[in-house]
């Protein structure tokens, strides 16, 4: 009887630095670990030969969200919105009514990004978003665009699944859809590019979100299950782990 030789590659994570940082999700100073992902050749799922570094990410030890390494360079600005305002002085000159069309309200950013003024603010906020949240948002939009039609029901389901899995809300979903549509990326290729920056918990939440949106209409098509399994492979997850998430969504505990 001939046996099968099982080989492949897998990313192995190791901690290279730790300390304190400002976590935007926790909104405070929290401990972090800077983790390095090294690609290994595996034989029977055992990592044997290192093939090089795939990158690094920062993991908050409180909320377990992961971020790009640049998050360590960011410093929160001081929010002065709650400071008492000085009393207006009485003037003898006639009062000039303000023009609402020319008035602007200063927005206080969450981070001091003075060193990156050349970057659009929206791009900065996207980069500093937890990797899991960013991946779930983009992947759900990709699933909405899969059939080439975007309807109100799909948008409603998106908001519910995104809120349930990340606790966040997308203000201008149609703008986000246009951005994703313009890039023309394939979901599997996108997931391979972000797998390095997701920890195991983040990967599970991504697959769970995909299953939730697939099951939203009450009928999960076999093609949708096949698609979600491919997503798991792109994230370097074990098939048994992906199946457990699928079963959990189909048959809630």
The residue ranges of every structural domain in the chain are 7-73, 130-250
CATH architecture of 130-250: Orthogonal Bundle (1.10)
Amino acid 112: pLDDT: 47
What is the full DSSP assignment across 23-76? ETTTTEEEEEEEEEEEEEEEETTEEEEEEEEEEEEEEETTT--EE-GGGGG--B
Instruction: Give the per-residue pLDDT at 123.
Output: 63
Structure tokens at 189: 């290729």
pTM higher than 0.85, yes or no? no
C-beta of residue 137 within 8 angstroms of C-beta of residue 125: no
**253 residues of the chain, pLDDT tens digit each:** 456 677 777 778 889 999 999 999 999 999 999 999 887 788 866 777 878 788 899 999 999 999 999 899 876 654 444 444 555 444 444 443 444 343 333 333 344 444 445 455 666 667 778 999 999 999 999 988 887 888 888 899 999 999 999 988 998 999 999 999 998 899 999 999 999 999 999 999 999 999 998 888 777 888 889 999 999 999 989 899 999 999 988 766 5
Cα 93 to Cα 95: distance, rounded to the nearest angstrom? 6
């Amino acid at each position: 009887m001939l046996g099968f030789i099982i080989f492949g590659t897998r990313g192995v994570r190791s901690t290279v630095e730790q300390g304190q940082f400002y976590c935007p999700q926790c909104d405070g100073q929290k401990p972090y670990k800077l983790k390095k992902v090294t690609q290994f050749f595996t034989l029977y799922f055992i990592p044997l030969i290192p093939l090089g570094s795939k990158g690094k990410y920062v993991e908050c030890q409180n909320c377990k969200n992961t971020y790009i390494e640049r998050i360590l360079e960011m410093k929160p600005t001081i929010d002065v919105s709650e400071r008492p305002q000085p009393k207006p002085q009485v003037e003898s000159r006639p009062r000039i009514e303000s023009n609402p069309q020319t008035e602007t309200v200063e927005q206080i950013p969450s981070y001091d990004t003075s060193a990156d003024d050349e970057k659009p603010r929206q791009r900065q906020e996207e980069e500093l978003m937890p990797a899991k949240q960013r991946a779930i948002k983009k992947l759900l939009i990709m699933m909405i665009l899969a059939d080439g039609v975007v309807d109100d029901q799909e948008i409603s389901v998106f908001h519910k699944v995104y809120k349930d899995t990340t606790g966040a809300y997308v203000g201008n979903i149609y703008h986000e859809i246009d951005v994703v549509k313009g890039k023309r990326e394939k979901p599997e290729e996108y997931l391979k590019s972000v797998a390095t920056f997701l920890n195991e918990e983040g990967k599970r939440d991504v697959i769970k979100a995909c299953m939730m949106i697939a099951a939203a209409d009450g009928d999960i098509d076999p093609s949708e299950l096949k698609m979600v399994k491919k997503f798991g492979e792109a994230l370097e997850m074990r098939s048994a782990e992906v199946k457990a998430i699928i079963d959990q969504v189909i048959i809630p505990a």
